[in-house]
Chains A and B, each alone.
Chain A
Amino acid sequence: MSSPFALDIEKLRFGYGRQDIVNLSKLQLQRDRSLAVIGPSGCGKTTFLHLLAGLIRPTAGTVKVLDQDLSALSDGQLDRFRGQRIGLVFQRFHLLPALTVMENVLLAQRLARVTKDSARIDMLFERLGITELARHKPYMLSQGQAQRVAIARALVHGPELVMADEPTSALDDRRATQALDLLHDSAKAIGASLLVVTHDQRVRGRLDQEFDMGTPQ
């Protein structure tokens, strides 16, 4: 019987030395729901996201992602878990400059160890309005186009949880709204849960759940 939670965090602590950067007693996110983790810069939001993505290991506590206790996985298993079941979108997108838009997306599918699914790619490209950009290199894209490509890359392998780090911070109101809607709708379209980590107060009230990380420590 699988857990109804996409995220199930308990007594999570992470820090350097005696100083905790993340200290969280309990947080849960139901599957197919969206969560905004909001807090000012330096409060540990990104570190929190890295903990959930298995990029770093907590000092203490339990992190269950998609019913998987991350502490039970080796580094290699964590890499595969992340590649297959999680989609990540970063503020600076990090599209690989040597590859075209299509190759960037295909690479994500390959690293997720799933069979190449052209129909899924076509559907995503159409939904995100980037079909015409398939052969473009990242340097040829506008910021909005690059963000849509980054979202396509995060969704192409059918992840169960999508995590976005500051997806709206550098955007004006109209574009921030568009970006958030795009993320939300795209995740919903593939049945994935969504976690957005941001200091952008404009996100408040737009997702299913909110969690305030509080003041910087």
Chain B
Amino acid sequence: MTWLRLSLANLTLSPVTSAVNVILMALGTASIVLVLLAATQLSETLTRDARGIDLVLGAQGSPVQLVLSSVYHADIPPGNIPLAEAERWAEDARVRVAIPLSLGDSFFGFRIVGTTPSYAEIYAAELSEGTFWQQPMQAVIGSAVATTTNLRSGAQFAGVHGLGDSGHSHEATPYTVTGVLQPTGTVLDRLILTSLDSVWDLHSHDDQTPRDEGLRSAVSAEAEREPGDAPTDQRGDNTQDHEHDHDHADDQDHSYDHAHEHSDDGANDDHDHEHHQGDDDAAPGHHNGDGNKDDQEQGDEHAHDHADHDHAKREITAMLIRYQSPLAAMTLPRDVNADGTLQAAAPAMEISRILRLVGVGVDGLRAFSAILILTAALSVFAALYSSLRARRSDLAMLRCLGATRWELLICLLLEGLLLSAMGIALGFAVGHGAIEMLGNWLEATRGVSLTGWTWIAAETYLLFGLLCVSIIAAAIPAYQAYRTDVARTLAEDR
């Protein structure tokens, strides 16, 4: 027989009251755990995903939107920027690394990102299988993409415009998976990486396709071409381009033609590969995007001129910049913005802005949770206090049996702590379970990763704080028990 057993037994005397107290404490704890875990993991995710990216160059508009779309892939981009203009800044002495991004398509909701392999290096990503792309229409997929879609090296898939499944599908020009990345715990896990040329090529074939939710951003020079311009095909096959200048009404037929020609024209395919190999070898941020090599091999100088013209007209969605030195942060964003053509947005600054905005809501939720916990603590106090009055003679009898004042105090404190601890334990379990379920849902619908299988430092402090609150709630009844006047109680109870 121990004090713990006695305290537990006492709690069973009023099971409904005890259950209500446990539930109240559990609700308060769960809500504050939920807020803590969500806010912390969101902040960590934002910081982790932006690590290694000092600046984002993109179209003018909202800097938050630019960062959300280009760093977190969680928003539509504000627009496109001329590749040449982005490259001009990429060659600036203050820039150490510049990585171009072209967005616009997706597969199963996972964004297809036209970029260079350097993009994966930002996140220290390594391949779990296969290789990086060697030519256009080859792709490397993130770990979450592989898990969700079951795609493996060698598999083919067709992207669609935009982020939904309802966009125009590029069934005729499927991607081939060449590699799968190891999990990084970053946004990269949910991306499909390919060469810039893949995006440009793909959209050069269906330049008549309406922009899907503004996401069709990797617009090739061909797409921007004036009606009178001579078409330029990277394969040097002008007729090919005409075949892909299609209306949506006859998408299917064109797709068929397109696939047919690709499969039949083995020479062109080989030729293409060489050309794009050259493109992909270009240094990050110095992607020349040219079709010159192709054209020279064809001996077509006219096409060469057009390729230069294409490069000048090519657009990307954004350019991710890493500074040569921290001092660049003082001048480069200011210079880019002053130039007027592009917008420079620093992810760190935008993250803190987002977190400040989110923080207002988080603070509100925390305050609400604190009120819930306070209510639970008051309820524990009321329950103990009322049970104390009903059990005064029991406490007096305990003293007669040899219990000291301190033992009675500990007995009551234990009762309060047990009630609270059960509620707190239940609250932590519910909070973590809810975050896990919320995380699963967000992962599937928003690409935001949250997990309940974690323990953050703030939870330790919360646990300590909750136990302190519980002790305080039990302290007054416990002190009353300590001060029990045994003789008077027994005399009154005769």
Contacts and interface: CB of A to CB of B under 8 A. Distances in A.
Contacts of A109: 1
Contacts of A91: 494
B486 A55 contact: yes
Contacts, number: 87
B494 A46 contact: yes
A96 B394 contact: yes
Contact of A55 (B9, B403, B406, B487): B487
Nearest to B494: A91
Contacts of A84: 402
Contacts of A96: 6, 9, 394, 397-398
A80 B402 contact: yes
Interface in A64-121: 75-76, 79-80, 82-84, 88, 90-92, 94, 96-99, 103, 106-113
Contacts of B267: none
Given A50-B490, A55-B487, A98 B9 contact: yes
Contact of B6 (A76, A80, A94, A99): A99
Contact of A76 (B10, B404, B487): B404
A83 B403 CA distance: 7
B397 A110 contact: no
Interface string A147-158: 000000100000
Interface string A38-78: 00000000110010010110000000000000000001100
A99 B402 contact: no
B13 interface: yes
A166 interface: yes
Contacts of B10: 98
Contact of B402 (A47, A75, A82, A165): A82
A183 to B, nearest CB: 16
Contacts of A166: 494
Contacts of A165: 494
Nearest to A94: B397
Contacts of B1: 99, 103, 106-107, 109-110
B16 interface: no
A113 B402 contact: yes
Interface in B9-24: 9-10, 12-13
Interface in B353-393: 393
B356 to A, nearest CB: 52
A82 B396 CA distance: 13
A134 B403 CA distance: 23
A111 B494 contact: no
B14 to A, nearest CB: 10
Contacts of B396: 94
A108 B401 contact: yes
A97 B491 CA distance: 19
Contacts of A97: 13, 394
A153 B402 CA distance: 12
A84 B491 CA distance: 23
Nearest to A95: B397
A55 B490 CA distance: 10
B405 interface: yes
Interface string B89-132: 00000000000000000000000000000000000000000000
Given A79-B399, A98-B9, A107-B6, A92 B494 contact: yes
Given A47-B487, A107-B1, A90 B402 contact: no
B226 interface: no
Contacts of B6: 96, 98-99, 107
5 contacts: A79-B402, A83-B401, A94-B490, A99-B1, A108-B401
Interface of B: 1-2, 5-6, 9-10, 12-13, 393-394, 396-406, 486-487, 490-491, 493-494
Given A76-B404, A90-B400, A92-B494, 14 more contacts: A46-B491, A47-B491, A50-B491, A55-B490, A75-B405, A80-B404, A83-B401, A88-B401, A94-B490, A96-B394, A96-B398, A107-B1, A110-B1, A111-B403
